[in-house]
A and B are shown apart, each in its own frame.
Chain A
Amino acid sequence: MAKELLKGNHAFAEAAIRAGCEAYFGYPITPQTEALEHMSKRMPELGRVFLQAESEVAAINMVYGAACAGVRVMSSSSSPGVSLMMEGLSYIAGSELPVVLVDIMRGGPGLGNIAPSQGDYNQIVKGGGHGDYRPIVLAPASVQEFIDLTVEAFDLAEKYRCIVIILADGSLGQMMEPAELPEMREVRRFEERPPWSLSGAKGRTPNVISSFYLDPLNEEEVNRRLMAKQAEIEANEIRFRELMLDDAEIAVVAFGTSGRIAQSAIKNAREEGIRVGLLRPISLYPFPYERIRQLGDNVKEILVVEMNSGQMLGDVRIGIEGRIPISFYGRQGGVVPMPDEVLEEIQKVNSRSSAS
């Protein structure tokens, strides 16, 4: 297929449709509403389900129900709306259901604003809802990557029977870039629904889907199963992209939009002769700890850049294990850092590490 000029929000919605998403439940919130708008038009055209719920709480519970029935289902929202979904997400995690959710982050806390932010990293990457679970979290940095990861998210969710959250920010939702959409996949037929799903028990033992285990020993068994799955996810699903790290003395670590802003800054720093490279984690859970650990052996200092007050910073520290200095540059509240600000931070780190 040829490249088209696509807005992030339209692109991921259409990508989900082409990945065979059969039902979408949501509630409008800027800066992701164009996705809901796109779904409201396209899903009925294709004879699939679009439903604008009365709230995000209702929407995520509709997602829960559809997932129980074994259909490919998703929702999308932005920070405050995603907060409202947390109880439902925890139930979905406890019930081990495949669900895809997109969070187009905006400035916060509270009602905040509608500008781009990465302030939900800890909430989303560390679990979000109550209880012992981790969703797979993927962070795109371009419209094309947004499309590709959305398609992949459905496959991963079903492979592991888990939640996959795509964590992007308002700028990626709103911007347009040339990108290529995938071919349309067929929606799964009724007979092809997974064997565990609640699709009618005629002629077989009824399936039970629940997140309620009154006996702690039974609940612990569920927790152990989730842990085993997480170990498998951590072994198989780490994704990152790196740039100019081979001879680097400084490594910038940044995800999503911060990552591509840092990419411009690094290019400029290289022109000044600074040996700097970029590591952009794409899977935030599972986090590329091992690659970060290696960086601790190869570079003199790390600079973490985020659109928050330093959240992924904690994971970078875990990977570095205190061996080399880590600096942080962040903008908060919906402010997007300019490449020249990041360049200035790289210059500061460089003069410090050359002096030592």
Chain B
Amino acid sequence: MQTEIIISGFGGQGVLFAGQLLSYAALEKDLHVTWYPSYGPEMRGGTAHCTVIISDDEIGSPVIRNPTAVIVMNLPSLDKYEPLIKTNGVLIVNTSLVDRDPEREDLRIVLVPANDIAEELGDKRMSNLVMLGSLVNKLDILSIEDIGTSLDRHIPKHRRNLLEGNLKALERGAALAMGEKLAT
């Protein structure tokens, strides 16, 4: 089985790091994984996205047109990726920054006020982990604990003080995803 995930948002929202956490967790589970970033002169404020493919078999292409699951951190990302997701796929929307509802009715959608939750937990920069928590809950490949372990191993030293908050952010995202809005 192969799961294809795109995480997209503004540069600075931690979309590349969120993708790396997924990849590290997949590696720990002995799964095949590719992490493919958008790269360029963008820093904070530009667009950034990454494609993470997780599979129990050798991965061919590291790029795909139609993902199984997408995290959108902002409106341009929703506009771009909503039409591309596979039927019955997963869409996680950061409603703190996206002011429209998704239009597709054949997706499993979770609406997450990620910035608000992250701010409530003490730092809005943790919004990526809230979103990741929701995503992991909707996919049956990795657990919140797996992501927590890779976070513990790979969080930069100078950010270690944020570890506990980030773990909480993951859990809040996962809890929110339990009450997903089901497709009608």
Mark A residues whose CB is within 8 Å of B.
3-5, 30-31, 114, 170-171, 174-178, 257, 260-267, 336, 338-340
Contact = CB atoms under 8 A, between A and B. Distances in A.
A267 B32 contact: no
B35 A260 contact: no
15 contacts: A5-B24, A171-B36, A171-B63, A174-B37, A174-B39, A175-B37, A176-B34, A176-B35, A178-B32, A178-B33, A260-B59, A260-B60, A261-B60, A263-B61, A336-B63
Given A3-B27, A176-B20, A31 B65 contact: no
B23 A31 contact: no
B27 A5 contact: yes
A345 to B, nearest CB: 14
Contact of B39 (A114, A177, A178): A114
Contacts of B24: 5
A5 B23 contact: yes
B64 A339 contact: yes
A279 to B, nearest CB: 15
B179 interface: no
B43 to A, nearest CB: 13
Among A5, A31, A170, max chain B CB count under 10 A is at A5
B45 interface: no
A5 B20 contact: yes
B35 A175 contact: yes
A161 B39 CA distance: 36
A261 B40 contact: no
A262 B41 CA distance: 29
Contacts of A3: 27
B60 A263 contact: yes
B61 A339 contact: yes
Given A3-B27, A5-B23, A5-B27, A261 B35 contact: no
B59 to A, nearest CB: 8
B60 A267 contact: yes
Interface string B44-62: 0000000000000001111
A178 B27 contact: yes
A265 B35 CA distance: 19
B39 A260 contact: no
B65 A260 contact: no
Interface string B148-175: 0000000000000000000000000000
B35 A339 contact: no
Most buried by A among B24, B35, B41: B35
Given A5-B23, A5-B27, A177 B33 contact: yes
Contacts of B35: 5, 175-177
Contacts of A339: 60-61, 63-65
B60 A174 contact: no
A175 B37 CA distance: 6
**Nearest 10 Cβ contacts at the A-B interface:** A264-B60, A263-B60, A264-B61, A176-B35, A261-B61, A338-B65, A339-B61, A175-B36, A178-B27, A174-B39
A289 to B, nearest CB: 25
Contacts of B60: 260-267, 339
A15 B61 CA distance: 24
A338 B20 contact: no
Contacts of A178: 27, 32-33
B63 A177 contact: no
